[in-house]
């Protein structure tokens, strides 16, 4: 896997991943659109610049662990992993198919490099905290990075995990919050208000960084700072759900909906036009 250092190259890869997501979902005929598109920049930064990982040795003991707690956005992870060299890009077309390794939620049984079977909200964050604690006890130096959603913070188990991480001072744990302000039945502020989110994490003895989750410089700088933190840290990444596709952006209705053939054509046309503007 080639590390991408230039912002232009990272933007181009994120655009490629967004196109992959649209093609995957349209072919599958089901799945989640808004979340994966919104987090494409973050996943591009993680797999092509930030994480310590090797697609040729996916289970190396010194690798950083990435837990996708909001497992329903897994199309973005699959696309990033394919582009990074974990498996052939053509396999993305098997999303949600019978016997595919790429199920609608991550399945470690089907594909061990996914680290954990996730999707039951509140579960993945607990797994990540457990992994971080185990690594500390074993005096390991790798990081555990957990992607979690804002809607997931409706779950009480999420806050139990956050409390535990603060108690044990897990400075090897990095949360990245997919703060897209939507969930399946509406906007988070209406379904279950979360603010003041930053203050809540600080009260649990965490460090907090708030960023624009579409700005690669901010993403890379935030993770660099996170790796120097003396406490568990959360990067609150404000993102636009459906990013890059005009009729999906900021529409909660696209949380759990896949584009049909015509919608996919329009989405891909917009993404191709956007690619031509990347400098």
Largest interatomic CA distance in the chain? 53
Measured between alpha carbons, how far is 124 from 117 in angstroms, rounded to an integer?
8
- Which residue, 46, 60, 92, 33, is CA-closest to 227? 46
Q: What is the pLDDT of residue 123?
A: 95
Q: Assess contact for 123 and 93: CB atoms under 8 A.
A: no
3-state secondary structure of 176: strand
Q: Is the dihedral of CA 208, 160, 182, 117 positive or negative?
A: positive
Residues present in the chain in total: 279
Q: What is the pLDDT of residue 138?
A: 97
Q: Is the peptide bond before 196 cis (omega within 30 degrees of 0)?
A: yes
Tens digit of pLDDT for each residue in 163-211? 999 999 999 999 999 999 999 999 999 999 999 999 999 999 999 999 9
Residue 211 backbone phi and psi in degrees, to 5: -135, 165
Q: What is the pLDDT of residue 129?
A: 98
How many CA atoms does the CB half-sphere of 96 hold within 13 Å? 17
Domain boundaries, the chain: 7-277
Q: Which H/E stretch holds residue 67?
A: strand 65-68
Q: Describe the strand order of the beta sheet including 173-179 as a list of residue ranges.
A: 65-68, 144-149, 173-179, 233-238, 207-212
CB atoms within 10 A of CB 113: 16
> In CATH, which superfamily holds the domain spanning 7-277?
Thiamin diphosphate (ThDP)-binding fold, Pyr/PP domains (3.40.50.970)
Beta pairing class for 173-179 and 182-183: unpaired
Q: What is the pLDDT of residue 279?
A: 80
Task: State the pTM of this model.
Answer: 0.97
| pLDDT < 70 regions, the chain | none
Q: Which position has the token pair 């987090």? A: 39
In the chain, the N- to C-terminal Cα span, in Å, equals 23
CB atoms within 10 A of CB 88: 8
- Which residue, 80, 197, 96, is CA-closest to 149? 197
Q: Assess contact for 25 and 94: CB atoms under 8 A.
A: no
- Which residue, 226, 243, 121, 122, is CA-closest to 180? 243
Q: Assess contact for 210 and 165: CB atoms under 8 A.
A: no
Q: Cα-atom radius of gyration of the chain, to the nearest Å?
A: 17
């Amino acid at each position: 896997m080639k590390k991408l250092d230039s912002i232009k190259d990272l933007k181009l890869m994120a655009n490629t991943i967004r196109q992959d997501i649209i093609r995957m979902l349209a072919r599958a005929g089901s799945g989640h659109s808004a979340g994966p598109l919104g987090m494409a920049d973050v996943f591009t930064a993680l797999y092509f610049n930030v994480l310590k990982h090797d697609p040729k040795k996916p289970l190396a003991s010194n690798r950083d662990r990435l837990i996708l707690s909001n497992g329903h956005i897994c199309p973005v992870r699959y696309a990033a992993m394919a582009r990074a060299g974990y498996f052939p890009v053509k396999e993305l077309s098997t999303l949600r198919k019978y016997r595919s390794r790429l199920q609608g939620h991550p399945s470690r049984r089907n594909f061990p490099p996914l680290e954990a079977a996730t999707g039951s909200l509140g579960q993945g964050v607990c797994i990540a905290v457990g992994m971080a604690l185990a690594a500390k006890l074993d005096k390991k130096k790798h990081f555990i990075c957990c992607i979690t959603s804002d809607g997931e913070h409706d779950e009480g188990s999420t806050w139990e995990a956050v409390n535990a991480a603060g108690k044990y001072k897990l400075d090897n744990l990095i949360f990245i919050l997919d703060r897209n302000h939507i969930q399946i039945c509406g906007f988070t502020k209406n379904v279950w208000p979360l603010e003041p989110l930053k203050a809540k994490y600080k009260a649990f003895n965490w460090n907090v960084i708030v960023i624009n989750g579409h700005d690669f410089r901010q993403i890379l700088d935030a993770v660099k700072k996170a790796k120097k933190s003396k406490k568990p840290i959360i990067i609150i990444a404000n993102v636009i759900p459906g990013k890059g596709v005009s009729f999906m952006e900021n529409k909660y209705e696209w949380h759990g909906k896949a584009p049909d053939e015509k919608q996919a054509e329009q989405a891909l046309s917009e993404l191709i036009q956007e690619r031509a503007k990347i400098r």
